[in-house]
């Protein structure tokens, strides 16, 4: 679910786009800006025409309005060049002082109290406590930071208009753009300060909450001997803390580990007399770096398909293969090389051959109970896409919805029992390899999406990942501040807040919004939906083609949908920008993605500042 959208290299994203109908972000930005600029100029012209007291004839009026629009544009461009960093910084400092005076620190206190309360309700006994804690703190931080960004930005300029302090500012050689930029900058600094403080709280809270210790359960330790009577070390278990216990394995050289449970393990300290102490948990926070392949399906009769079958209740993102038939999920990976393989080490720390680190997440859909107490089994198999040489299918047990990390050895065997090399024989010259996954039990189903099987590169830094996720919250914050400040040039504080809030909410549901705008959703456009609501017709029932309905549909097609489509072009997709899932689910947030988001953010700041400049410039300050 996390990695629903593929992340493309930055430059490709920026310039050429991501295939299909998507073109690059930069051309798109310019196209949208140009479109809106034309609209804005037309609108400005009409307003100027209506506002002005007309002297002379109708045509003189037309010319005068045109002249005014042209002059405004011309001086706007000239003033852009006169922007002074000192003035911007002075205004930014003022904005900071203002925010400070509004007791912004209380937000931090509220946040700490919230975390303390949360500590009661969040349970470390959850099977994936890191995800629970991280998604909680990250959504709380996002929510609070965005709320504060909304409040401080939307009320600032209207406050200045209300107290008329703006009079003494705009009668100085201050360019309207500097007022906007200064506000954005000032509130961003304040917001950054808050976010950093919250981030520190989050880190301490998560690491402290997840940390726990176990004792060794003394009478559980058993000595293991092989059939030949050799000492094979000891096994045992830890005490139950935080709702789980670990199995302990210690080898004959007194090296040992408390095995992974609930997403973490504990290293062991073993002294010369063999006494075992359990150290703090390791591996709660992960920053997995997946390398994705392309997924396609083969159906139960052996026919290639782009998608598997749907099991109804499931979200369409995943599709399913049926067990014990020819149905297969096939991933094709590219760029496999010797470097992809990892040296595996055995318990003694000696090299024991190379392995291909992969991770698999299966969504299991059962139509019957199966064998009680037994997980559903499946097989995994490697295939060369050119020679179609295959390895012997290797069975595995599906851990429903959990990431299962596997380390199949480079040395595989064919179904006939011949040795076959995963790199030399099963991978093509240009580094392509297919991995085939099947469900082994009749009547049971495995569900997959493209991101459910990947080759894992070594983990990234979890601290860095933590910082990166906060950076993505920062990006959302800057967008909210920008939009809030710009909208507040036009309307009073509460109205600006409402507008900005709707902008955010529509941004969160941008996809749905665009679906309605492009007529892909059931129930028609807004006007038709209103009729359906009024007549209590459901979204799919056919409406009688009366004149009324036709007019309503006409309005939708030619007015409300184009309008929605237009708005949709500038809505920030907050759902997409929210990348807290990466940290929560333990994936590394790629830098490419961060740079893309930063670029989007920069685009908003630039475009909206220009918009704000003209809004403020053409506003009569002393109304």
**Site residues, another protein (CB under 8 A):** 50-51, 53, 55, 75, 79, 82, 84, 86-87, 89-91, 93-94, 97-98, 101, 163-175, 620-623
- C-beta closer to another protein: residue 76 or 526: 76
Phi, psi angles (nearest 5°) of residue 229: 90, 5
For the CB of residue 85, give the shortest distance to another protein in the complex, in Å.
Answer: 9
Close Cβ partners of 382 (under 8 Å, ≥ 6 residues apart): 390, 391, 408, 412, 422, 426, 433, 434, 435, 436
The distance from CA 523 to its chain's CA centroid, rounded to whole angstroms, is 29
- C-beta closer to another protein: residue 45 or 595: 45
| 3-state class percentages of the chain: helix first, strand second, coil last, to nearest 5 | 50, 20, 35
Provide the 10 A C-beta neighbour count for residue 555.
16
Provide the 10 A C-beta neighbour count for residue 78.
10
For the CB of residue 622, give the shortest distance to another protein in the complex, in Å.
Answer: 4
Q: Angle formed by the axes of helices 526-535 and 547-555, to 10°?
A: 140
How far is the C-alpha of 267 from the C-alpha of 277, rounded, in Å? 9
- C-beta closer to another protein: residue 75 or 348: 75
For the CB of residue 491, give the shortest distance to another protein in the complex, in Å.
Answer: 12
- Cβ–Cβ < 8 Å for 603, 595: no
Close Cβ partners of 306 (under 8 Å, ≥ 6 residues apart): 296, 297
How far is the C-alpha of 91 from the C-alpha of 179, rounded, in Å? 7
CA dihedral over 108, 114, 119, 122, signed as positive or negative: negative
List the structure tokens of 491. Answer: 């309307």
- C-beta closer to another protein: residue 368 or 623: 623
CA distances from 72 to 69, 77, 239, 618 (A): 5, 9, 75, 8
Residues constituting the chain: 623
For the CB of residue 193, give the shortest distance to another protein in the complex, in Å.
Answer: 18
- Cβ–Cβ < 8 Å for 138, 584: yes
For the CB of residue 565, give the shortest distance to another protein in the complex, in Å.
Answer: 29
CA distances from 445 to 64, 326, 349, 376 (A): 72, 12, 39, 9
Residue 168 burial (10 A CB sphere; 0-12, 13-18, 19+): exposed
- C-beta closer to another protein: residue 86 or 368: 86
- C-beta closer to another protein: residue 95 or 437: 95
How far is the C-alpha of 156 from the C-alpha of 176, rounded, in Å? 15
Residue 555 host element (H or E) = helix 547-555
For the CB of residue 86, give the shortest distance to another protein in the complex, in Å.
Answer: 5
How far is the C-alpha of 192 from the C-alpha of 571, rounded, in Å? 23
- Cβ–Cβ < 8 Å for 406, 380: yes
- C-beta closer to another protein: residue 165 or 215: 165
For the CB of residue 615, give the shortest distance to another protein in the complex, in Å.
Answer: 14
For the CB of residue 269, give the shortest distance to another protein in the complex, in Å.
Answer: 58
- C-beta closer to another protein: residue 31 or 50: 50
- C-beta closer to another protein: residue 167 or 397: 167
For the CB of residue 486, give the shortest distance to another protein in the complex, in Å.
Answer: 19
For the CB of residue 76, give the shortest distance to another protein in the complex, in Å.
Answer: 11
For the CB of residue 183, give the shortest distance to another protein in the complex, in Å.
Answer: 14
List the structure tokens of 533. Answer: 């609501």
Strands (E), 387-516: 394-397, 403-406, 411-413, 419-421, 433-439, 444-448, 453-457
- C-beta closer to another protein: residue 172 or 368: 172
Phi, psi angles (nearest 5°) of residue 160: -65, -35
- C-beta closer to another protein: residue 212 or 617: 617
- C-beta closer to another protein: residue 156 or 391: 156
- Dihedral over alpha carbons 293, 294, 299, 303 (to 10 degrees): -120
For the CB of residue 83, give the shortest distance to another protein in the complex, in Å.
Answer: 11
- C-beta closer to another protein: residue 384 or 618: 618
Residue 448 bridge partners (DSSP): 319
How far is the C-alpha of 72 from the C-alpha of 50, rounded, in Å? 16
For the CB of residue 43, give the shortest distance to another protein in the complex, in Å.
Answer: 16
For the CB of residue 52, give the shortest distance to another protein in the complex, in Å.
Answer: 8
Close Cβ partners of 470 (under 8 Å, ≥ 6 residues apart): 141, 195, 196, 199, 202
For the CB of residue 79, give the shortest distance to another protein in the complex, in Å.
Answer: 7
For the CB of residue 281, give the shortest distance to another protein in the complex, in Å.
Answer: 48
- C-beta closer to another protein: residue 182 or 603: 182
List the structure tokens of 567. Answer: 């708005």
Strands of the sheet with 363-366, listed across from one edge: 319-322, 444-448, 363-366
Q: Angle formed by the axes of helices 129-163 and 105-121, to 10°?
A: 160
- C-beta closer to another protein: residue 167 or 315: 167
- C-beta closer to another protein: residue 329 or 616: 616
């Amino acid at each position: 679910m996390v990695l629903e959208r593929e992340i493309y290299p930055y430059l490709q994203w920026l310039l050429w786009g991501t295939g299909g109908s998507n073109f690059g972000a930069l051309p798109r930005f310019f196209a949208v800006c140009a479109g809106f600029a034309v609209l804005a100029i037309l609108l400005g012209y009409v307003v100027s025409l209506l506002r002005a007291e007309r002297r002379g004839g109708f045509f003189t009026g037309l010319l005068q309005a045109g002249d005014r629009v042209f002059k405004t544009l011309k001086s706007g461009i000239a003033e852009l060049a006169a922007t002074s960093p000192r003035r911007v910084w002075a205004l930014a400092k003022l904005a900071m002082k203002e925010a400070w005076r509004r007791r912004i620190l209380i937000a931090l206190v509220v946040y700490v109290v919230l975390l303390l309360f949360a500590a009661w309700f969040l349970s470390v006994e959850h099977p994936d406590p890191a995800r629970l804690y991280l998604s909680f703190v990250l959504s709380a931080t996002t929510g609070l930071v965005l709320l504060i960004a909304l409040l401080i930005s939307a009320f600032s300029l209207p406050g200045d208009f209300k107290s008329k302090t703006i009079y003494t500012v705009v009668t100085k050689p201050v360019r309207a753009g500097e007022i906007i930029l200064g506000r954005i900058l000032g509130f961003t600094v304040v917001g950054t300060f808050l976010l950093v403080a919250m981030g520190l709280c989050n880190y301490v809270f998560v690491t402290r909450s997840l940390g726990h210790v176990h004792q060794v359960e003394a009478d559980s330790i058993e000595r293991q001997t092989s059939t030949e009577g050799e000492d094979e070390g000891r096994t045992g278990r830890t005490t139950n803390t935080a709702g789980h216990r670990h199995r302990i394995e210690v080898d004959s050289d007194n090296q040992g580990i408390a095995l992974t449970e609930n997403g973490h393990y504990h290293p062991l300290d073993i002294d010369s007399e063999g006494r075992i102490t359990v150290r703090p948990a390791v591996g709660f926070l992960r920053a997995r770096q997946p390398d994705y392949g392309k997924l396609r399906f083969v159906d139960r009769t052996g026919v290639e398909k782009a998608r598997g079958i749907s099991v109804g209740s499931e979200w369409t993102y995943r599709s399913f293969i049926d067990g014990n038939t020819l149905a297969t999920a096939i991933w094709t990976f590219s760029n496999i090389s010797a470097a992809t393989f990892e040296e595996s080490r055995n318990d003694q720390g000696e090299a024991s051959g190379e392995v291909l680190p992969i991770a698999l997440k299966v969504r299991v859909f059962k139509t019957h109970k199966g064998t009680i107490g037994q997980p559903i089994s499946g097989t995994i198999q490697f295939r060369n896409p050119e020679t179609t040489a295959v390895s012997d299918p290797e069975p595995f047990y599906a851990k429903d919805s959990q990431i299962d990390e596997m380390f199949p050895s480079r040395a595989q065997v064919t179904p006939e029992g011949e040795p076959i090399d995963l790199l030399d024989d099963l991978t093509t010259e240009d580094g392509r390899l297919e991995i085939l996954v099947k469900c082994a039990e009749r009547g049971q189903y495995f569900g997959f999406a493209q991101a459910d099987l990947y080759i894992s590169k070594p983990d990234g830094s979890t601290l860095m990942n933590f910082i990166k996720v906060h950076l993505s919250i920062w990006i959302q914050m800057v967008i909210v501040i920008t939009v809030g400040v710009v909208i507040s040039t036009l309307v009073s504080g509460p109205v600006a807040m409402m507008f900005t809030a709707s902008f955010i909410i529509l941004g969160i549901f941008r996809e749905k919004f665009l679906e309605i705008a492009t007529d892909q959703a059931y129930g028609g456009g807004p006007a038709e939906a209103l009729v359906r609501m009024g007549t209590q017709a459901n979204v799919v029932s056919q409406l009688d083609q009366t004149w009324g309905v036709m007019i309503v549909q006409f309005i939708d097609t030619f007015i409300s949908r184009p309008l929605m489509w237009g708005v949709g072009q500038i809505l920030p997709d907050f759902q997409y920008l929210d990348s807290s899932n990466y940290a929560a689910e333990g994936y590394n947030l790629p830098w490419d993605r961060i740079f893309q988001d930063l670029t989007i953010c920069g685009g908003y700041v630039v475009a909206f500042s220009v918009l704000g400049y003209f809004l403020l410039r053409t506003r009569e300050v002393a109304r």
